[in-house]
């Protein structure tokens, strides 16, 4: 693997990372993060734990690294550069997440859920998603002005679509949506994220049990059939 050289004018003192996001738009990279790119595609930073990982801002370098099997996404490895302090949440709620898993386990589990994301399945959900969007827009137009499109639509819609895909009962949508929003929030504390993650794990574990007893045509029911066939554990499904 080859990398581009680090710029000669890189800062003598390592910048802190992560930097707070801009108040004007919490989804926009901070000016400090944008500034790292001018020092080259690779920049050493100092994290909350006083470790000194690399931040990769170059697109070509990112593609190279993400496709290199020598790099790991498993955040249980010693020295993994977590951007936030670990809070010691319930084990099992976080250690089997797709985003923290390497092949071959990642590929094995991904194959089990890929059927829920086919073009045919996505097209079948189009009317349901359109109805959700219409409902959110109607509520936004009837609410106070100016409206916040992120809070009114962009944040709640994905979690509602996911709950529909998983087979979450309608009466549980509010619980699922509330905890899902915390996980993607730019302002939630590590403790709040850990609590939300544990809440969702425990809820999904219970829901998987219900799907095993009475399966339907949804993703969790499909995973339940994999459990029955001995190809998946209940903990992995949740």
Q: For residues 37 and 235, what is the distance between their CA atoms, to the nearest angstrom?
A: 41
Domain parsing of the chain, residue ranges: 1-71, 105-237
Q: Do you find a cis peptide bond into 18, omega within 30 degrees of 0?
A: yes
Q: What pLDDT shows up at residue 22?
A: 67
What CATH number is given for 105-237 in this structure? Answer: 1.10.630.10
Residue 87 pLDDT > 50: no
Give the confidence band of 82 by pLDDT, cuts at 50, 70, 90: confident
Q: What pLDDT shows up at residue 79?
A: 78
DSSP class per residue in the chain: ---PPPPTT--SSPPBSSPPPPTT-TTSPPHHHHHHGGG-SEEE-B-TTS---EEE--HHHHHHHHT-TTS---TTSTT---SS----PPTTSSTT-GGG--TTHHHHHHHHHGGGGSHHHHHHHHHHHHHHHHHHHHHHHHS-SS--HIIIIITHHHHHHHHHHHT--GGGHHHHHHHHHHHH-SS--HHHHHHHHHHHHHHHHHHHHHHHHS--SSHHHHHHHHHHTTSS-HHHH-
Residue 46, beta-bridge partner list: 16
pLDDT digits (tens, 9 = 90+) for 56-77: 989 999 999 999 988 888 877 7
Mean pLDDT of 20-46: 80
pLDDT digits (tens, 9 = 90+) for 183-195: 877 678 888 988 9
Mean per-residue pLDDT of the chain: 82
pTM: 0.66
């Amino acid at each position: 693997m080859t990398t581009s050289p680090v710029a000669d004018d890189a800062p003598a003192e390592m910048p802190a990372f992560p930097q707070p996001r801009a108040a004007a738009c919490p989804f926009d990279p901070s000016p400090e993060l944008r500034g790292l790119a001018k020092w080259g595609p690779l920049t050493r930073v100092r994290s909350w734990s006083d470790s000194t990982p690399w931040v990769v801002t170059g697109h070509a370098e990112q593609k190279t690294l993400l496709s290199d099997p020598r790099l790991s996404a498993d955040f249980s490895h010693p020295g993994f550069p977590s951007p936030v302090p670990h809070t010691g949440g319930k084990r099992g709620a976080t250690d089997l997440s797709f985003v923290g898993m390497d092949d071959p386990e990642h590929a094995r589990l991904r194959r089990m859920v890929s059927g829920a994301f086919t073009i045919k399945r996505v097209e079948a959900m189009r009317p349901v998603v359109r109805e959700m969007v219409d409902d959110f827009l109607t509520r936004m137009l009837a609410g106070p002005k100016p409206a916040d499109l992120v809070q009114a639509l962009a944040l709640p819609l994905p979690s509602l679509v996911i709950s529909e895909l998983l087979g979450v009962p309608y009466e549980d949508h509010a619980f699922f949506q509330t905890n899902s929003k915390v996980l993607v929030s730019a302002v939630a504390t590590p403790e709040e994220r850990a609590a939300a993650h544990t809440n969702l794990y425990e809820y999904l574990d219970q829901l998987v049990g219900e799907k095993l007893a009475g399966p339907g045509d949804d993703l969790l029911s499909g995973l339940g059939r994999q459990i029955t066939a001995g190809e998946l554990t209940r903990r992995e499904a949740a």
